[in-house]
Structure 1
């Protein structure tokens, strides 16, 4: 699978001159002055504090407040966050994994980790520092302050130092927590863009979707990308949970004694419950995907053949079918919602339950419980609340991302079709077919792969990759090889032994009964079928206008340009003509 010519010259220019971490090292500068030649994207000129606290968005927010924010004033996306750049990198990592392990044993999860490895290490570092600060503040420093008050010490410097240290730990916790979110959002944007672009490029390279439903394709491009976005956003917080749990366990045991382990056990026992919830969520998610694919495919068929359904008065029958599919899907989603709601509702109760259980057992055993110790234990258990609160979302995102990666791998392992359309040069013909037999499937009756004919010596027709061959004369090729139909038993061909030539500047109309192969003939010229015998060749490029118009939400100019720059010399209609025919739609 190859990518079309995306424009990533800016990134290659930077990487050719500097190290691959050059832009990241510039972001690590705490405060960066405004450059003389600012980058189109403000995030590329942001310093460390601006990046962490999102202050680089302030000018954009001011424009929005002044109602001056529109399509022309919104800054472009950073080159490093563009989908084409990240998709190329993800594809390179995937190809390396396939070469090393093979297509069947290649791990897409491993490639995903490699794609975000450096950012994941930085994020884990920020998360660990945040968790350590969360522990030091309420556990060590608050306990020291309370003991300082109980002893009624006259050391003012020591008390102020403890308060300043508490302020510093809270500041570090907030700063590194914000840094984690900033890194996670950038990573999630890059991962989602890479995955969605890679899936889209792979799908448009396929000739047909015989083994993939339309619903599965739509879910892959819309829902699965967002699942990976959530996984990159929430899953890194899991790495800080063990550190916080171990630190709190040791410290509570030191200041309270063995009874503190009861509260820790309550936390530990809740982790398998969350893992069980994750397994249930994964199971419901897997079942819901099947129903969603069925519903989307059914709705696509209904909308495609709505005229036929109306003509035969099949509305009620199809409405009942759609209603049944939706009802089944809704029941599965309701069960998944119940599991997630229970998981989310029980999480805030665990700190309170652990605290009450610890203090009740501690007092019943006759141990001493001072105010400073009790308040410190409560603060320690509350500091663990965030790790438990984020754990359900992390586990849920991890479970759903695993399913999404499995669906994406199903697309990536599909073999790319063989390009059979040849290119002609200096020929009087625009389109040429000679004894061409084509089908929509690449197997014969016995399930054996078929191959197209080979044209020896490249005398008259060149391959698509060799369009600049000077030996191409555009004459009719000589067919010398035997067909697959002669070698194998039966080939289920849609078009059989088609021969015609279309000269440049001529107009050709094809008529026939329904199902006679008119649309298949156009698809054969576009390279969307499988060639078993003969030659299909074109001179130059083709423009195809399907029966069903594809118009996206936008004005007339945007639908014509399709993202390209407007060229005044190549315009087909003037603004006055468009204003007369379609006023207000420029």
Structure 2
């Protein structure tokens, strides 16, 4: 690698600039190596980001994506950025021509190919950036806007690292012209970077997509769009877009109207619209998979969060490594000063990158989990409205699936698993790397400490298990107490009448004491768990250091502090990994239940014809309807009682007929035996008519309504509906008042 780099930099003065200061590590200190291996690839990455932004602007997939046209101050800022980018490209071209001229002049020191290639790449990069921004002036597609901004920010960061090398190179030389050109270039690049960091287009005209903007004075904060949508890159990384809300919360308790409205991509209605076509496509397949459908929508964003988790995990090991290097540097009196600054600077930068990566990781996976939960809850709710009687009976889990449990427990289990899934692969990786680095520090005694840490895990697991059991028992006692108090309040008149107050108070007090007993046990175990969490690293490190010293080794400060930091990194995955495995196991069962429910049979939507003069709004001709087949009914009866089944009356058995279809109607005949619910039904309801269906209890009045709605399978005949349809059931209900007040229901009585 070094031979290639130096041959690529032949005759360049840059490769000598740091050679006297970085004697211990020439490749790291050599500016030529830095240009070839770091700066040049970074500029190529920026070019790729600009090309990606151009693809967002012109790809067919984004021709209908939301887009705006910049106006006002946003257009002025865009013009400034274009001018700055063109200026940077022009200065780079002047530098390029100057370098080429110096290379061809007799008596001048030659330059290496890297300088010519690098400067040409920089000029092309800024020229491409200006061209992309000019394309944005015509149509600013909101999707992918961050790619161009990331490119200019990365270019500005590169110049910060490059600036020191330039200053060092010109010290003691007479190359003032090149230095002035570079200062102009760097100032232009940094000005462009600052504009990209802190300014986002806020004045525009909507070209495509909905326009939610209103006058700020006419909108409540809860009706405003989330500021996250218009936040700049720096604000997104640091979450500064939340500062106004946090300041508001510091001044007074937040109310609902103080919180910004949800972004459109977080609203459950939009998430459901996104989910429906994907799940319908999977239902047409031979083996519909809920996991694949979820991955198809949120998989990319989910694994972006995983990559940030990987960055955070890498940053966890940077701290212990550079901590050991800094301690070694302090103990070495002959070490050059730049090493200390270099190690400290890298430690700071890597720690900041790790912290930012962790924050973005949690934000992404929690948002994905929330979106998955909202979409699944909406899908389950819709399914409960459309599921057929056959769908209720059939399925892998039978009739035991309660919609409330699916919406509350199972969807929540999937959400929690989505949040914590990356710990499943991250924990083994962190454990392996930690043990590898610990073995390098302490050799085999590190394995003793790790074994002690593993042995402490069952104790901590037992404590957490008991803590959970006591907490759940306390919640059950609290539910019983609240139920008892609710009964007393609802029947207060009877309680007062028979003087049962003391009896109810004693029962509630006893339940409260039992509840407090479990809460006290939970508090004690919680304190013990916290004690274990903070004491285990100390005990583990003490055991490792004791074995290390007894083995005849010298324990230095560098090894001690580095090992302590690594044990601290090792502790968390060992604690959370078993919990996440158990959590994912529960989530897999929840996914199976949700998949089974969402795959069940639905009531088929009938084509609704428009209302036409002279034609009835609802009509049934020779309708035969049945809730179920004979086999299923007989099976139900056989499963109950003594195993004997009762055969239905033969007269209630309709003979099979040929299935037919007609536009706007349902006409079909059965293909197998069934129990008839309604037989030979003929009904006509004209437009605007008030029709009443009367009959004794159990005669099928409600069943006719369900047949019109299509909820009872049509075995024969034809059902036709025209126009819109609404089912408005009523339920008998009175409030505690006189008959007259119940009839008037708050209205004034008019005796006339």
1:91, CA displacement in angstroms?
Answer: 4.5
Contact conserved, 2:324 with 2:558, CA < 8 A, in 1? Answer: yes
1:207, CA displacement in angstroms?
Answer: 3.1
Contact conserved, 1:433 with 1:499, CA < 8 A, in 2? Answer: yes
Q: 1:49 aligns with which of 225, 230, 234?
A: 234
The higher relative CO (CA closer than 8 Å, separation ≥ 6) is in 1
* Cα 1:140–1:65 shift into 2, 3 Å: closer
1:398, CA displacement in angstroms?
Answer: 1.7
* Cα 1:231–1:514 shift into 2, 3 Å: same
Q: Please list the CA deviations of residues 424-483 of structure 1 after superposition, one character each: whole Å capped at 9, or x if unmatched.
A: 642442221121111222666688xx999778684xx6248xxxxxxxxxxxxxx8x8x4
1:399, CA displacement in angstroms?
Answer: 2.5
**2 CA distance for matches of 1:372 and 1:95?**
60
Indicate the residue corresponding to 1:163 in structure 2: 344
1:14 is aligned to 2:65: yes
The DSSP-based 3-state class of the residue aligned with 1:416 is: coil
Contact conserved, 2:202 with 2:230, CA < 8 A, in 1? Answer: no
Contact conserved, 1:52 with 1:182, CA < 8 A, in 2? Answer: no
Indicate the residue corresponding to 1:177 in structure 2: 358
Q: 2:373 aligns with which of 179, 192, 216?
A: 192
Q: Please list the CA deviations of residues 46-76 of structure 1 after superposition, one character each: whole Å capped at 9, or x if unmatched.
A: 2333223322223344455666976666544
* Cα 1:354–1:107 shift into 2, 3 Å: farther
* Cα 1:387–1:437 shift into 2, 3 Å: same
Q: Which moved more, 1:45-54 or 1:438-447?
A: 438-447
The 5-angstrom pairing of residues 37-436 of structure 1 reads 37=203, 40-62=225-247, 74-95=259-280, 97=282, 102-103=286-287, 106-137=288-319, 139-153=320-334, 155-208=336-389, 210-211=392-393, 216-266=402-452, 350-419=536-605, 423=609, 425-426=611-612, 427-436=614-623
The DSSP-based 3-state class of the residue aligned with 2:421 is: helix
**1 CA distance for matches of 2:303 and 2:275?**
18
Contact conserved, 1:207 with 1:417, CA < 8 A, in 2? Answer: yes
The DSSP-based 3-state class of the residue aligned with 1:541 is: coil
* Cα 1:190–1:25 shift into 2, 3 Å: farther
Corresponding pairs, count: 481
Q: Which moved more, 1:215-224 or 1:147-156?
A: 147-156
Indicate the residue corresponding to 1:462 in structure 2: 664
1:507, CA displacement in angstroms?
Answer: 1.9
**2 CA distance for matches of 1:57 and 1:158?**
38
* Cα 1:113–1:13 shift into 2, 3 Å: same
Contact conserved, 1:433 with 1:498, CA < 8 A, in 2? Answer: yes
Greater radius of gyration (CA): 2
1:248, CA displacement in angstroms?
Answer: 1.9
**2 CA distance for matches of 1:343 and 1:360?**
25
The DSSP-based 3-state class of the residue aligned with 1:116 is: helix
The RMSD of aligned alpha carbons is 4.9
**2 CA distance for matches of 1:196 and 1:500?**
38
**1 CA distance for matches of 2:732 and 2:561?**
69
**2 CA distance for matches of 1:277 and 1:453?**
67
Indicate the residue corresponding to 1:561 in structure 2: none
Contact conserved, 1:262 with 1:357, CA < 8 A, in 2? Answer: yes
TM-score (structure 1 length as normaliser): 0.68
* Cα 1:376–1:116 shift into 2, 3 Å: same
**2 CA distance for matches of 1:77 and 1:513?**
51
The DSSP-based 3-state class of the residue aligned with 2:726 is: coil
**2 CA distance for matches of 1:108 and 1:276?**
34
**1 CA distance for matches of 2:691 and 2:239?**
60
The DSSP-based 3-state class of the residue aligned with 2:621 is: strand
TM-score (structure 2 length as normaliser): 0.54
1:183, CA displacement in angstroms?
Answer: 1.2
* Cα 1:457–1:511 shift into 2, 3 Å: closer
Contact conserved, 1:424 with 1:462, CA < 8 A, in 2? Answer: no
**Where does structure 2 lack aligned partners over 5 or more consecutive residues?**
1-61, 68-138, 154-196, 205-212, 214-224, 495-514, 636-653, 734-745
1:421, CA displacement in angstroms?
Answer: 7.2
**1 CA distance for matches of 2:150 and 2:462?**
41
Q: 1:33 aligns with which of 186, 199, 216?
A: 199
Contact conserved, 2:428 with 2:573, CA < 8 A, in 1? Answer: no
Contact conserved, 2:427 with 2:573, CA < 8 A, in 1? Answer: yes
* Cα 1:36–1:24 shift into 2, 3 Å: closer
* Cα 1:249–1:36 shift into 2, 3 Å: same
1:177, CA displacement in angstroms?
Answer: 0.8
**Where does structure 1 lack aligned partners over 5 or more consecutive residues?**
1-10, 311-329, 465-478, 551-579
- The answer to which structure has the higher helix fraction is 2
Contact conserved, 1:192 with 1:226, CA < 8 A, in 2? Answer: yes
**1 CA distance for matches of 2:146 and 2:665?**
43
**1 CA distance for matches of 2:355 and 2:579?**
20
**2 CA distance for matches of 1:61 and 1:245?**
37
1:12, CA displacement in angstroms?
Answer: 8.9
**2 CA distance for matches of 1:393 and 1:184?**
18
Q: Please list the CA deviations of residues 391-439 of structure 1 after superposition, one character each: whole Å capped at 9, or x if unmatched.
A: 3553343223212211111112212233457646424422211211112
1:377, CA displacement in angstroms?
Answer: 0.8
Indicate the residue corresponding to 1:468 in structure 2: none
The DSSP-based 3-state class of the residue aligned with 1:210 is: helix
Q: Which moved more, 1:495-504 or 1:52-61?
A: 52-61
1:351, CA displacement in angstroms?
Answer: 3.4
Q: Which moved more, 1:202-211 or 1:178-187?
A: 202-211
**1 CA distance for matches of 2:248 and 2:689?**
55
